[in-house]
């Protein structure tokens, strides 16, 4: 299948060639023609499968066909009014922006990522502007962006509501509404904001909803806000992430964990890595320690100002930062193809987050390695993740880094396929990889670096609070 065969406009095709995309991914193959035909879509497919282009390409195609997004009549009138006000020497009244497309995303990083992708896919269109409206960005800057009356708004729900309530945005001309990572937005408590935003848009709009799952609360909302949607489900959770190798390493204590982390990050196949921690403070501390140990490391979490977060992500993209130490909140939108390793320094609180974390590697069809460093007491949490993904995560032991307790002793009663048939997610237990207790060859014993000598002793499970992620 080619992009041409999907019926996309020449200017969009040109941008895709320029981007080095040779063929559509499966989700694009299904979503693009349906979206071009004007259908509402409900889509679930794994992270890294190219969902952004799946909704943005048909939208850009539509704008290109409509004559490269001319100003709406209302927008034109607004401009004329402003001009004549100026010629009368009056200060023109601020006219509300009238976007034609709105993309809602759970986090700022994801919104910026979508905006960047839109700029890329729309680079051969004369005047399609995409603008991000985000919490944490100064209001005057956002007012300037909105005053340009952009065709496409990419926004996090909270800040968007602020602008709507102060009359800065008018959705009467909206044609396309996209909810990206809808499940995550609901997890983050945005349901009321979303309902309010949707209610402000015309009923005639086209709606596309993307979510890891389409049942439960998300499915409920999806039903309410879409009309006769086409449902596209690319991969069940059983065959997710086939290009990502997953492993669990059991650790005895914090110093063991730090030594292992150091070892993993010195792996010669490691290009760039993301290390996930449970708390912002640990993200900072570990990034500092890794820097002292000679890694080009940086922290990324929700306490950092937006500018600092953007700079860090840019350095990561440029390869200046090799190890990013991040919390879940900050990590959602990271899309850097050179990330070969994801390390869970702490396990995530929710199994869903595990899936999102490991999806930071193995982007765009590459292979990735996802390693979880787990205390012996956390076996249950690993089980919860395995139940959720319907995959067993092989336990691995590296020579020279063996835990004092054996892996089998740590998880005595685990049976493959042990989830209950009544479990909503488990119509049939997936084919699981056989559990291995392998020791990968090549790992020579090495003396610990300065990084190994962390100040803490004892393990962290009980002490840590997840609430300050
Ligand atoms: P998702 O939203 O499904 O997690 P993204 O839209 O963020 O995935 O895309 C993941 C990566 O794949 C991005 O780096 C994107 O540039 C790349 N990509 C998307 N579509 C294609 C394609 N057809 N060919 C090659 N790379 C692609
Ligand atoms: Mg996405």
Is residue 469 domain-resident?
no
286 and 227, same domain (yes or no): no
Is residue 467 domain-resident?
no
Closest protein CA for atom 2 of ligand 1: 51
- How much distance in Å is there from the Cα of 51 to the middle of ligand 1? 7
The burial of 302, by beta-carbon neighbours within 10 Å (0-12 exposed, 13-18 middle, 19 or more buried), is given as: middle
178 and 250, same domain (yes or no): no
Residues 175, 201: contact at Cβ < 8 Å?
A: no
Closest protein CA for atom 24 of ligand 1: 21
229 and 251, same domain (yes or no): no
197 and 82, same domain (yes or no): yes
Is residue 146 domain-resident?
yes
- How much distance in Å is there from the Cα of 46 to the middle of ligand 2? 9
State which of 191, 218, 234 marks the end of a domain. Answer: 234
Closest Cα partner for 359 from 330, 382, 386, 333?
333
287 and 397, same domain (yes or no): yes
Tell me what pLDDT residue 14 has. Answer: 95
Question: Per-residue pLDDT tens for 87-134?
Answer: 666 655 668 899 999 999 999 989 999 999 999 999 998 778 899 998
37 and 106, same domain (yes or no): yes
- How much distance in Å is there from the Cα of 114 to the middle of ligand 2? 8
Find the domain containing 47 and state its range: 4-234
249 and 178, same domain (yes or no): no
Is residue 101 domain-resident?
yes
State which of 234, 260, 290 marks the end of a domain. Answer: 234
Ligand 1: residues within 6 Å at CB?
A: 21, 24-25, 28, 47-53, 335, 337, 363-364
- How much distance in Å is there from the Cα of 53 to the middle of ligand 1? 7
- Which stretches in the chain have pLDDT values below 70? 68-94, 235-241, 331-332, 406-469
State which ligand 1 atom lies nearest to the alpha carbon of 52. 6
State which of 211, 234, 257 marks the end of a domain. Answer: 234
219 and 82, same domain (yes or no): yes
Which residues share a beta bridge with 276?
Answer: 326, 344
CATH at 292 = 3.40.50.300
Closest protein CA for atom 22 of ligand 1: 21
Is residue 460 domain-resident?
no
149 and 272, same domain (yes or no): no
How many CB atoms sit inside 10 A of residue 373's CB? 23
Closest protein CA for atom 10 of ligand 1: 48
- How much distance in Å is there from the Cα of 17 to the middle of ligand 1? 14
Tell me what pLDDT residue 371 has. Answer: 97
Is residue 329 domain-resident?
yes
- How much distance in Å is there from the Cα of 305 to the middle of ligand 2? 23
Tell me what pLDDT residue 387 has. Answer: 84
320 and 204, same domain (yes or no): no
Q: Which ligand has the shortest distance to the CA of 47?
A: 1
100 and 166, same domain (yes or no): yes
Is residue 398 domain-resident?
yes
Number of domains in the chain: 2
46 and 192, same domain (yes or no): yes
Tell me what pLDDT residue 101 has. Answer: 97
Is residue 172 domain-resident?
yes
Residues 78, 298: contact at Cβ < 8 Å?
A: no
Tell me what pLDDT residue 374 has. Answer: 97
Residues 344, 357: contact at Cβ < 8 Å?
A: yes
For a mutational test of ligand 1's pocket, the pick from 48, 106, 355, 358, i.e. the residue with the most ligand atoms closer than 8 A to its C-beta, is 48
């Amino acid at each position: 299948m080619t992009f041409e065969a999907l019926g996309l406009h020449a200017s969009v095709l040109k941008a895709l060639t320029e981007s080095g995309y040779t063929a559509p991914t499966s989700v694009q193959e299904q979503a693009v023609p349906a979206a071009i035909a004007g259908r509402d879509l409900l889509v679930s497919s794994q992270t890294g499968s190219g969902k952004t282009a799946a909704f943005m390409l048909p939208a850009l195609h539509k704008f290109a066909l409509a004559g490269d997004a001319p100003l709406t009549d209302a927008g034109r009138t607004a401009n004329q009014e402003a001009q004549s006000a100026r010629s009368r020497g009056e200060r023109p009244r601020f006219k509300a922006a009238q976007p034609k497309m709105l993309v809602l995303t759970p986090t700022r990083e994801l919104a910026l990522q979508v905006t960047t992708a839109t700029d890329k896919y729309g680079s051969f269109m004369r005047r399609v502007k995409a603008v991000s409206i985000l919490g944490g960005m100064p209001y005057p800057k956002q007012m300037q962006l909105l005053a340009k009356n952009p065709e496409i708004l990419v926004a996090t729900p909270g800040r968007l509501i602020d602008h709507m309530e102060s009359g800065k945005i008018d959705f009467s001309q909206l044609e396309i509404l996209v909810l990206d990572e809808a499940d995550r937005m609901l997890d983050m408590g945005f349901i009321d904001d979303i309902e309010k935003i949707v209610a402000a848009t015309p009923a005639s709009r086209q709606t596309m909803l993307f979510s890891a799952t389409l049942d439960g609360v998300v499915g409920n909302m999806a039903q309410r806000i879409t009309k006769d949607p086409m449902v596209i489900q690319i991969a069940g959770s059983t065959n997710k992430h086939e290009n990502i190798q997953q492993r669990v390493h059991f650790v005895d204590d914090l110093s063991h964990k730090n030594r292992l982390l150091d070892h993993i990050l010195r792996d010669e196949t490691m290009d760039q890595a993301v290390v996930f921690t449970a708390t912002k403070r640990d993200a900072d501390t570990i990034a500092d320690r890794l820097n002292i140990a000679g890694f080009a490391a940086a922290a990324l979490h929700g306490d950092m100002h937006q500018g600092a977060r953007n700079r860090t992500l840019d350095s990561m993209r440029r390869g200046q930062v090799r190890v990013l130490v991040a919390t879940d909140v900050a990590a959602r939108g990271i899309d850097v193809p050179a990330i070969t390793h994801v390390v869970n320094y702490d396990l995530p609180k929710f199994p869903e987050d595990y899936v999102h974390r490991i999806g930071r590697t193995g982007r765009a069809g590459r292979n990735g390695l996802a390693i979880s460093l787990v205390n012996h007491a956390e076996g249950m949490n690993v089980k919860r993740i395995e139940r959720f993904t319907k995959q067993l995560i092989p336990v691995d032991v590296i020579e020279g880094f063996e835990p004092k307790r054996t892996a089998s002793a740590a998880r005595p009663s685990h049976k493959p396929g042990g989830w209950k048939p009544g479990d909503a997610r488990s119509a049939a237990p997936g084919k699981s990889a056989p559990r291995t207790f392998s020791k990968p060859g090549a790992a020579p014993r090495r003396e610990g670096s300065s990084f190994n000598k962390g100040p803490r002793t004892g393990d962290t499970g009980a002490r840590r609070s997840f609430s300050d992620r």
